[in-house]
Amino acid sequence: MGELRRIADYPALLDEAWAQAHAPRAPDAPTVISTFAGCGGSSLGYHMAGFRELLAVEWEQNAADTFRLNFPRVPLYHGDIAKLSVEECLRLANVKPGELDVFDGSPPCQGFSTAGKRETGDARNQLFHEYCRLLRGLRPRAFVMENVSGMVKGDFKLVFAEIFRTLKGCGYRVKARLLNAQFFGVPQSRERMIFVGIREDIGREPSHPIGWSEPVPASSVHPHFSQILRSGARDNWCPADTMFPTITKAASTTSRTGYMSGGHFIRTRDDVERRPTLREFQSLGSFPSPFAFAGTREDGVQRIGNSVPPLFMRSIATHVRDILGR
């Protein structure tokens, strides 16, 4: 890890990133297709990094509604990825095989192994294979795949090994590394496995970005915060100079995020205890304030909890762009 920078003004950082996301794009800007796009956390990160998004794929209704609110010019395939053919994907994105720069996605992979037992019929396995089916057909110059950190722990090491072999078999040089969002400008400790692949004929090695920021203190995010609850116990308060608790990414649509578990409270400087507002969750998830959420507060909180933090993805996308020389 390189020299870490202290973020003195986190709101200003978000404002700057939002401006980057909405800056004009050159005709030759790098391109991306985002699958399992959710409400657009990864998409926003790519936009911040100067990419032009050609297509997003998402099936959940509220997530799709939120995506449309924020990315009205990006074509959205709202439906089952298993029903999206390679030909239709190419048509919607208006590209030919081999032309796309980056293919992105966070397919669930937990079903590959349950306590050492393969569950070949698990639908979550199939979603990973659908991702690979499109990867083979699109033949992008690079891909980025994000997933839970637990796949390299215990029995889930079998998941990791099979995923790695399958991705390499698609014709890519592949590297995987655990990265923590707290070192990429995001005010939460959130560790994720990031796979980066570079197509074999490109002749370049995949690699990962180096962390650049110190953990962002909660008081820098919201000056009126006095303390933030670290866990579900109401008496377990942590000082204002510590990070916000990790968001737990849902393994499926029936799972609840860490935010939704009812275990997070804040104490303000006037000694009032309360749950964070949606806007506060939004800021802690590195979503700039203009980003809009469809539906209820609970819908918005779940969208944030299920998203890749945009600032985190901005660093990854910028790094992959540099590898490709784009």
Partners of 278 in the β-ladder = none
* DSSP 3-state of 72: coil
Q: 193-211 in b/e burial notation, b at 16+ Cβ within 10 A?
A: bbbbbbbeeeeeebebbeb
**What Å distances lie between residue 270 and 67, 168, 267, 293, CA to CA?**
37, 55, 8, 29
Task: Return d(Cα 184, Cα 179) in angstroms, integer.
Answer: 9
Catalytic site positions: 109
H helix or E strand, kind and range, residue 194: strand 191-199
Q: Are 221 and 284 in contact (CB under 8 A)?
A: yes
The DSSP annotation for 132-156 comes to HHHHHHH--SEEEEEEEGGGGSGGG
DSSP 114: B
Task: Return d(Cα 186, Cα 180) in angstroms, integer.
Answer: 9
